[in-house]
A and B are shown apart, each in its own frame.
Chain A
Amino acid sequence: MSRESVVIIGAGQGGLQAAISLRQNGFAGAITLIGDEPGLPYQRPPLSKAYLHDGNAEALRLRPDSFFTSKEVDYLPETRVEQIDRAAQEIVIAGASGKRRLGYDHLILATGTRNLRPPIAGVERSCDLRTLRDAEILRARLSQPQRIAVIGGGFIGLEFAAVARKLGHEVSVIEAAPRLMARAVSSWMSDHFAALHRDWGTALHLGEAAVAVQGDGVTLANGTTIPAEFVLLAAGVRPNTELAEAAGLEIENGVKVDACLLSSDPAISALGDCACFPDPRTGRPVRLESVQAATDHARLIAARIAKGESAAYSALPWFWSDQGDRKLQIAGYADPDATEEAVAEGIVARFDAQGLAAVETVNNARVHMKARRLLASGAPVALDDLGEIVAA
C-alpha cells in the first residue's frame, strides 16, 4: 500500500498553513498543495496596505522555495482543480502539462473567495483587489495623479482609499448601505471611520448605489456622476464553492462543515474563506474572511489528520484593518444584528443573546488583547467587566 496522501486545493493563507501544520504535527504521508495562481504562496492583507506603498512582493511570501523541498510538500502552482470525483477519491487537475487525475485519502478545500461582480453597467472597466496581480496593476495606476472612485465601503475599499488619499489622489467612496463596514462593525465605529476618511479628504457617498461605470466616472442611482479616471470595485466577495457543489457536497453560504471542520463527506475538510462553520460560541453557521480563521482552521484540520485528534473548533476570532494611521482591531465576532455599547472613546462592545460577542477598538492594543483574553476564557462577561479593563 502506498503512503497516505493529503491533497490541498488552494494555495493561499489557509491552504499553505494546512501543509505547514501537517508536517509540524508529524504527518509522514504525501502532501500535494495545488493553487491556480503563479509564484509562491503569499499573504493578502498587505495588498491593500504596505504593498501599495512599497511594492515589495518578496515581503508577501509566506514561505521560501526551500520550504517545499525540505518539508516534502509537492507544490503545483498555476494548476487548477477542475473536478472532484468523490467515489474514486480522485481529483482532476489542469496545469501546464495538461490534465491528469490525482488520488487522495483526505482532501482539504481551501479555495477562498473571488470578487463579487454586481450587475453594474460597464463594471468590466473597474479593477479588483484580491490577488497580487490585481495589486500590481493598482500600484501602477497609482503612480500618476488622478481621480479615483471606490465602489464599496468595506475594509478593503477603505484601506485602499486611505492609501490613495495619502498618495495625493482625489478619492470618492461609494457605498450602497447607509454606513461604512456595515456588515462587520458597530454603527459607532462606522461613524468614527466616516469622520476620519472625510477628514483625510475622501468624499463619501453613503446610501448610494452605483449603477454604471463609464470612461469618465461612476453614475449613482440618484443620477449624479462621480468623476473618476479609475474605478476600484470592492463590493464584497463570493466563496469559491463550485467544485464542492458539483461534487454534491452540502453548501450553505460556503462549503458547509461541522464542528470538526469536516464537510458532508468525511474524507473532505474545508477551511478559511470558503468554509461555513458553526460559530463555537453560538452554534450559528458563520463564514469568516480573516487570516485568523484560515490559519486556525488549518491547524485544527492538520491535527485531526496527523494525530487523529477529534477536538471541536473553538478558536476566538480576531481581525484588524489598517486605515491611514488607525488600526481597527476586533476581538470576537458579532453578527450584524448584535447590539452595541460604547464603553469609552474608541471602544465598543457588541452583545447578542449569549452575552458579549465582540469588542472593537481603535489604536488600542492593550484593551484589544485584554478583550481577547476575556472572550477566550468563555466566562460570561458583563459591561462592568469591560469598564474595569478599560480603567485598569
Chain B
Amino acid sequence: MVKVTYVAHDGTQTTVEAEDGDSVMHAAVSNDVDGIVGECGGSMMCATCHCYVDEAWQDRVGPRSDGEEDMLEGAACEVNDRSRLSCQIKLGADLDGLVVHLPEEQF
C-alpha cells in the first residue's frame, strides 16, 4: 500500500492508502476525496483531476506524459509548473507519502 495526502484548497488534509499501480486520481475518487473529479475515468479527456504536486515531491513524480500538457490547457484553475493531471501519476513504493495540493475548482 502507498500513502497519498491530498491538501484541499482550504487546507484540509486527507490521507488515503492506495494500491500499488493505482493512479492519484483513482485513489482520490475511490476514497471519496472531494476536489478531484476525474470525469472521463482517466482517459485524459476532461482535465478535471488537476492537482499541484508538492514541491518536495516534484522530482520523484517526474515529467508530464504525452498529451497531458495539452489537456491541462483546459483546466479550470491556474496551471503552473507543478500542475499535473492526477490520472497520469501512477503510484508505487517510490511515491509512498506523496503530497498533492488541489485547486479550488475543477470546472
Chain A interface residues toward B at CB < 8 A = 24, 43, 45-46, 58-64, 66-67, 70, 291-292, 295, 299, 318, 320, 322, 327, 329, 363, 365-366, 368-370, 372-373
Nearest to A58 among chain B residues (CB) is B30
Asked whether, in the complex, the Cβ of A368 is within 8 Å of the Cβ of B70, the reply is: yes
Assembled-state Cα–Cα distance A368/B71 (Å): 9
Q: What is the distance, in angstroms, from A322's C-beta to the closest C-beta of chain B?
A: 7
Asked whether, in the complex, the Cβ of A64 is within 8 Å of the Cβ of B30, the reply is: yes
Asked whether, in the complex, the Cβ of A43 is within 8 Å of the Cβ of B45, the reply is: no
- A369 in contact with B73 given A43-B41, A45-B40, A45-B43 (CB within 8 Å): yes
- A64 in contact with B70 given A320-B45, A329-B45 (CB within 8 Å): no
Assembled-state Cα–Cα distance A46/B31 (Å): 20
Which residues of chain B from 31 to 84 have a CB within 8 Å of any chain A CB?
31-32, 34, 39-41, 43-47, 67, 70-71, 73-74
Assembled-state Cα–Cα distance A54/B97 (Å): 27
Taking a contact as CB atoms closer than 8 A, the residue among B29, B40, B47 that contacts A291 in the complex is B40
Nearest to A24 among chain B residues (CB) is B34
B26 within 8 A of A: yes
Nearest to A319 among chain B residues (CB) is B45
Nearest to A60 among chain B residues (CB) is B41
User: Which residues of chain B have C-beta atoms less than 8 A from A62's C-beta?
Assistant: 29
User: Which residues of chain A have C-beta atoms less than 8 A from B67's C-beta?
Assistant: 363, 365-366
Q: What is the distance, in angstroms, from A75's C-beta to the closest C-beta of chain B?
A: 14
User: Which residues of chain A have C-beta atoms less than 8 A from B43's C-beta?
Assistant: 45, 320, 322, 327
Taking a contact as CB atoms closer than 8 A, the residue among A70, A299, A366 that contacts B70 in the complex is A366
